[in-house]
């Protein structure tokens, strides 16, 4: 039974470490940060046969890609998935309930707490015929000085130390339901007409979260409706629509009516004051020795089932005839089967800080079970062979003398694979998109800048004395064979491979084809001629429009999911939607170099508004990472960040903040301020009291007047005359927005929508319309069925609106590189609007997007030159999923 370990992604600007253990019959994934789904596409690895995902921490860094993976795995016909992690995992999963649903899969959450890992001997958190996986909790053990600092910080609410999270508690009144029903079953509590999930505590709260997860993944295997048919939605679901949608689930199936309270806020989860992590010890199978045929013949063992029993480790008894005498003989397996192989072991260690080292070391040395994996501790055995250890190291961990000594406690032939921002380079993960951008930089290096990257580590291993001999940098596609054991190698995967990094290492220019070079030259000449003839300078010409993600529903090698950054010179930044890995896209564009400006930290500090159009995952999953990174700024921002969205997204953030500090409820007033989209409606003066446009809850934080006050503050901070929302027509409650600046320009953002008159009315005379254009014009019926627009429909909306500029985005993965727009440059003196198509990381302003029309022939030729093996198969596979499932 051969098996292996490989690295899907490592620590970088756009990914976190993800490790895959592979058997012929199964895969086991360790951690799934944001962009894990897209990394599978880039590497062309197969995620099928995955049985479990194991998290070392619960939070956006290690688990930010979980929601996308769950939906993808279900669509890939995985029927059952184990999800293992520290306490808080079920809360994290349950917080996804308004946007993650798959009725074809069952998800089993397993929380590995200290009580399950310190027993002697401990029980595995997961076991099957391939592996036995044990978990070990690692806690922070700060010294007295750090403890004093933490105490002072907690007392004075010093926000200069965002890594010391604060607890948020919801206090119960003496006669609250949690007090009255402490001895009742969950079912009995739910029958109470005043039932609120947030009143639950302890076991009942945990039981409720598990109940919610079963509702999210019921494994009911309901068939999809016929193509072109409508998914029926029960009245009960519509009435309990806390996320504001008609509750057509992601796969357009009729979702069973959720339990009472499903759309209400979860019970609070109280996180500990320090960051806890899990270490995993993965023990492979014990492979029995070879069957000795000659010895079996010598012992007289007949062919057939008896020999099979021996190979299974069972003793056998059979009759042997010697001369005329017949007698019974018993044979034990070891008499004719060679010694079994020592099981191979992989260890995954997540050590967030130097304060976690003492607990890690003592946990291994003080436990009889875990001590046996060390080689230099008296009393250890040779029962297991540790072959590879993955070290996920926080700052200063690898150079700590205690940690180096701990690493050397393992056998000298162990391979130590290290992921650390200090000691790893920062190569581009999505090399296919980067290579296209590199080529286009020769067309226009301002409009198509090369992604930021770093090929050398900040500190090399050779600069650290006392490390083990067999130490390796964790790199994407690193492969380690476990049986038979072999040293780590970089795996050659199918497809076009990495063409970006070899190209940037060359000192000469790219080898463009003669045809491409000619089209590049012609495009540049046409732009120069247009400039010479004079171009109209629109209001807001210097306002930056940076598409960070231009894909729909699912990421691809070439396009990330939805997000657009608006940069208002002298005022600040607005983010329109924030799909998964928006942060990674920002870092690749702006970089982290403190010596250059603007860097990503400048952009984040100046981010003053995030608008999330609706609850679908591809429009908001990246927001939590943005908020987490904002809390790491030093010093912290001196102005608030306003988030304008619907209740479902706001509630998700509030629940997630129980797991990780996102900056909500910051007493300084400079954290996250939540605003309800409904409160800013362009013509509605009060909240709707019924139907799909009702807010869906009456919590204090959805108060209309508070949202309006916050909106006024936000407008003053950004120099806006107004910020209005527009109800648009999608398969969930969705809003567009109209941003009007005091300088006279305005931007309209459609969100996801079919063509709607509401947007035309609200945005009339816009300087720029950013409109989704998911489908080609020959797919109008499909676009309508999925609540989207075609290219032609989006342009028509812009013309009816009398918009000066139209930027098309949110393209189906059917068009991985070049959407079939058929656009042509606007003729000089024409009254028609400028129409441009968006690409990830194209550097646009309101004043320069007219150039895209002249560049399109050159872009198309360059994209044609860089077709990679598997591109057509990827688009076809995504299309097949998208035909049945609406993820947007």
Q: What is the pTM of this model?
A: 0.88
Q: Quick one: which of 757, 847, 830, 739 has its CA closest to 796?
A: 757
pLDDT at 144: 36
Residue 433 lies in a domain: no
Q: Are residue 368 and residue 317 in the same domain, yes or no?
A: no
Cβ atoms of residues 328 and 316 within 8 Å: no
- The CA distance from 419 to 424, in Å, is 6
- CA-to-CA dists, residue 812 to 74, 529, 793, 825, 870, angstroms: 20, 34, 15, 23, 17
The 3-class SS string of 598-632 reads CCHHHHHHCEEEEECCCCCHHHCCCHHHHHHHHHC
Q: Quick one: which of 825, 810, 887, 812 has its CA closest to 856?
A: 825
Instruction: Report the SS3 class of residue 186.
Output: helix
Cβ atoms of residues 32 and 63 within 8 Å: yes
Cβ atoms of residues 203 and 182 within 8 Å: no
Neighbours of 160 (CB within 10 A): 9
Instruction: Report the SS3 class of residue 707.
Output: helix
Q: Are residue 345 and residue 331 in the same domain, yes or no?
A: no
Q: At what angle do helices 582-590 and 623-631 cross, to 10 degrees?
A: 60
Q: Quick one: which of 205, 201, 208 has its CA closest to 178?
A: 201
Neighbours of 345 (CB within 10 A): 23
Determine how β-strand 325-331 pairs with β-strand 471-473: unpaired
Cβ atoms of residues 851 and 715 within 8 Å: no
- The CA distance from 701 to 574, in Å, is 22
- CA-to-CA dists, residue 668 to 156, 158, 160, 248, 640, angstroms: 12, 9, 11, 40, 9
Residue 508 lies in a domain: no
Q: Quick one: which of 632, 622, 493, 503 has its CA closest to 163?
A: 632
Neighbours of 5 (CB within 10 A): 26
- CA-to-CA dists, residue 753 to 254, 396, 566, 750, 767, angstroms: 21, 48, 21, 7, 20
Cβ atoms of residues 131 and 283 within 8 Å: yes
Residue 156 lies in a domain: no
pLDDT at 338: 77
Q: Are residue 635 and residue 750 in the same domain, yes or no?
A: yes
- The CA distance from 438 to 549, in Å, is 18
Q: Quick one: which of 584, 435, 441 has its CA closest to 496?
A: 435
Residue 725 lies in a domain: yes
List beta partners, residue 734: 728
Cβ atoms of residues 77 and 102 within 8 Å: no
Neighbours of 685 (CB within 10 A): 6
Structurally, how many domains does the chain consist of?
A: 3
Instruction: Report the SS3 class of residue 574.
Output: strand
Q: Quick one: which of 237, 84, 37 has its CA closest to 877?
A: 37
pLDDT at 480: 96
Q: Are residue 779 and residue 822 in the same domain, yes or no?
A: yes
Look-up of token digits 């600069």: 463
Quick one: CA dihedral 119, 125, 126, 132, positive or negative? negative
Q: Are residue 399 and residue 329 in the same domain, yes or no?
A: no
Please count the helices (runs of H) and the strands (runs of E) in the chain: 28, 30
Determine how β-strand 80-85 pairs with β-strand 672-676: unpaired
Euclidean distance between the first and final Cα of the chain, in Å? Answer: 41
Residue 195 lies in a domain: no
Give residues with Cβ within 8 angstroms of 588, minimum separation 6.
13, 14, 428, 434, 451, 452, 453, 841
- The CA distance from 539 to 531, in Å, is 17
Q: Are residue 78 and residue 124 in the same domain, yes or no?
A: yes
Q: Are residue 708 and residue 851 in the same domain, yes or no?
A: yes
Strands of 649-719, DSSP E: 672-676
Backbone angles phi, psi at 153, to 5 degrees: -65, -40
- For every residue of 95-119, DSSP letters joined together read TTTTT---TT-EEEEEE--HHHHSS
Give the burial string for 437-476 (b: 16+ CB within 10 Å, else e): bbbbbbbbeebbbbbbbbeebeeebeeeeebbebbbbbbb
Domain boundary residue among 319, 335, 351?
A: 335
Give residues with Cβ within 8 angstroms of 120, minimum separation 6.
367, 368, 369
Rg, the chain, Cα only: 29
Is omega for the bond preceding 617 within 30 degrees of 0, making it cis? Answer: no
Instruction: Report the SS3 class of residue 304.
Output: coil
Give residues with Cβ within 8 angstroms of 547, minimum separation 6.
563, 564, 807, 809, 838, 839, 840, 841, 842, 844
- Cβ-based burial of 866 (10 A; exposed 0-12, middle 13-18, buried ≥19): middle
Q: What is the largest CA-CA distance in the chain?
A: 114
How far is C-alpha 612 from the chain's CA centre?
17
- Cβ-based burial of 61 (10 A; exposed 0-12, middle 13-18, buried ≥19): buried
pLDDT at 445: 96
Residue 84, domain CATH: 3.60.15.10
Give the burial string for 631-640 (b: 16+ CB within 10 Å, else e): beeeebbeeb
Q: Are residue 485 and residue 561 in the same domain, yes or no?
A: no
pLDDT along the chain (888 residues), means of 10: 94 97 97 95 88 96 96 89 96 96 94 62 93 95 47 34 34 42 84 94 95 93 46 34 35 69 95 85 87 85 86 85 85 82 94 96 92 76 88 97 97 96 95 95 97 94 94 96 92 76 82 93 95 87 98 91 97 98 98 92 98 97 97 95 98 96 93 97 90 91 96 98 97 96 98 97 98 94 95 96 97 83 71 93 97 94 81 56 44
Q: Are residue 670 and residue 653 in the same domain, yes or no?
A: yes
Q: Are residue 66 and residue 127 in the same domain, yes or no?
A: yes
Q: Are residue 297 and residue 278 in the same domain, yes or no?
A: no
pLDDT at 120: 66
Quick one: CA dihedral 607, 608, 611, 615, positive or negative? positive
Q: Are residue 470 and residue 598 in the same domain, yes or no?
A: no
Give residues with Cβ within 8 angstroms of 607, minimum separation 6.
572, 573, 574, 575, 626, 630, 641
How far is C-alpha 93 from the chain's CA centre?
13
Residue 224 lies in a domain: no
Structure token digits, residue 763: 């945005």
What range does the domain containing 29 cover? 3-140+274-285+341-423+458-490
Quick one: CA dihedral 774, 777, 783, 789, positive or negative? positive
- The CA distance from 869 to 865, in Å, is 12
Residue 210 lies in a domain: no
Residue 198 lies in a domain: no
Q: What residue spans of 262-304 are helical by DSSP H?
A: 293-299
């Amino acid at each position: 039974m051969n098996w292996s370990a490989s690295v899907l992604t490592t620590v970088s600007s756009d990914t976190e470490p993800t490790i895959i253990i592979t058997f012929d019959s199964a895969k086991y994934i360790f951690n799934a940060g944001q962009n894990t789904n897209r990394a599978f596409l880039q590497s062309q690895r197969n995620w099928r046969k995955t049985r479990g995902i194991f998290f070392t921490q619960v939070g956006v860094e290690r688990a930010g890609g979980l929601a996308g993976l769950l939906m993808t795995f279900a669509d890939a016909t995985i029927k059952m998935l184990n999800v293992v992690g520290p306490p808080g995992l079920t809360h994290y999963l349950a917080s996804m309930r308004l946007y993650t649903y798959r009725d074809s899969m069952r998800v089993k959450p397993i929380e590995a707490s200290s009580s399950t890992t310190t027993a002697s001997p401990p029980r595995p958190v997961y076991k099957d015929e391939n592996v036995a996986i044990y978990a070990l909790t690692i806690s922070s053990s700060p010294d007295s000085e750090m403890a004093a600092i933490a105490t002072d910080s907690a007392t004075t609410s010093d926000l200069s130390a965002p890594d010391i999270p604060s607890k948020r508690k919801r206090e119960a009144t003496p006669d609250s339901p949690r007090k009255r029903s402490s001895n009742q079953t969950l079912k009995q509590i739910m029958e109470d007409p005043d039932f609120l999930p947030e009143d639950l505590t302890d076991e009942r709260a945990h039981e409720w979260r598990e109940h919610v997860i079963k509702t999210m993944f019921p494994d009911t295997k309901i068939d999809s409706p016929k193509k072109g048919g409508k998914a029926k939605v029960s009245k009960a679901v519509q009435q309990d629509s806390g996320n504001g949608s008609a509750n057509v689930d992601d796969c357009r199936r009729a979702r069973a009516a959720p339990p009472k309270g499903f759309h209400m806020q979860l019970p609070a989860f109280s996180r500990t004051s320090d960051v806890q992590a899990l270490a995993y010890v993965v023990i492979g199978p014990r492979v029995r020795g070879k069957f000795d045929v000659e010895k079996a013949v010598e012992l007289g063992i007949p062919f057939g089932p008896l020999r099979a029993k021996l190979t299974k480790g069972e003793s056998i008894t059979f009759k042997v005839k010697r001369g005329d005498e017949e007698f019974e003989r018993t044979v034990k397996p070891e008499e004719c089967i060679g010694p079994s192989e020592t099981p191979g072991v992989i260890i995954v260690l997540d050590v967030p800080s130097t304060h976690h080292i003492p607990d890690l070391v003592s946990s291994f040395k003080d436990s009889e079970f875990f001590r046996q994996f060390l080689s230099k501790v008296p009393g250890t055995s040779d029962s297991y062979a540790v072959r590879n250890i993955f070290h996920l190291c926080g700052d200063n961990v690898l150079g700590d003398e205690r940690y180096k000594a701990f690493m050397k406690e393992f056998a000298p032939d162990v391979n130590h694979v290290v992921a650390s921002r200090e000691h790893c380079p920062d190569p581009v993960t999505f090399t296919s998109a980067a290579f296209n951008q590199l080529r286009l930089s020769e067309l226009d290096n301002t409009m198509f800048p090369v992604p930021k990257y770093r090929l050398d580590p900040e500190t090399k291993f050779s600069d650290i004395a006392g490390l083990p001999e067999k130490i390796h940098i964790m790199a994407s596609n690193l492969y380690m064979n476990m049986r038979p054991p072999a040293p780590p190698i970089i795996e050659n995967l199918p497809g076009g491979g990495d063409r970006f990094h070899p190209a940037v290492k060359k000192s000469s220019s790219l080898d463009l084809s003669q045809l491409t070079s000619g089209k590049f030259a012609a495009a540049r000449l046409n732009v120069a001629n247009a400039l010479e003839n004079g171009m109209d300078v629109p209001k807001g010409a210097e306002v930056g429009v940076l598409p960070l993600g231009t894909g729909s529903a699912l990421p691809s090698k070439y396009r990330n999911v939805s997000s657009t950054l608006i940069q208002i010179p002298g005022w600040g930044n607005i983010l329109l939607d924030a799909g998964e890995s928006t942060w990674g896209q920002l870092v690749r564009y702006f970089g982290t170099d403190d010596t250059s400006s603007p860097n990503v930290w400048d952009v984040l500090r100046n981010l003053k508004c995030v608008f999330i159009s609706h609850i679908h995952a591809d429009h908001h999953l990246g927001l939590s990472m943005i908020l987490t990174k904002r809390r790491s700024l030093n010093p912290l921002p001196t102005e608030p960040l306003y988030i304008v969205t619907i209740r479902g997204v706001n509630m998700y953030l509030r629940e997630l903040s129980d797991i990780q500090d996102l900056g909500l409820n910051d007493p300084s007033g400079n954290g996250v301020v939540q605003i309800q989209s409904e409160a800013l409606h362009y013509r509605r003066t009060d909240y709707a009291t019924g139907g799909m446009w009702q807010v869906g809850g009456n919590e204090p934080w959805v108060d209309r007047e508070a949202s309006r006050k916050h909106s006024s503050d936000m407008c003053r901070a950004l120099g806006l005359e107004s910020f209005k929302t527009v109800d648009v027509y999608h398969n969930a409650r969705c809003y567009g927005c109209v941003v009007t600046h005091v300088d006279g320009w305005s931007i309209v953002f459609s969100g996801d929508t079919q063509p709607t008159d509401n947007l035309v009315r609200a945005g009339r005379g816009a300087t720029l319309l950013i409109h989704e254009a998911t489908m080609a014009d020959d797919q109008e019926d499909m676009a309508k069925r999925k609540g989207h627009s075609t290219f032609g429909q989006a342009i028509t909306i812009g013309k009816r609106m009398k918009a000066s500029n139209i930027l098309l985005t949110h393209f189906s993965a059917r068009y991985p590189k070049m959407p079939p727009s058929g656009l042509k440059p606007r003729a000089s003196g024409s009254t028609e609007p400028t129409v441009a198509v968006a690409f990830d990381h194209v550097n646009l302003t309101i004043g320069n997007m007219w150039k895209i029309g002249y560049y399109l022939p050159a872009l198309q030729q360059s994209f044609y030159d860089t077709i990679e093996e598997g591109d057509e198969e990827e688009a076809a596979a995504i299309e097949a999923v998208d035909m049945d499932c609406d993820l947007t």
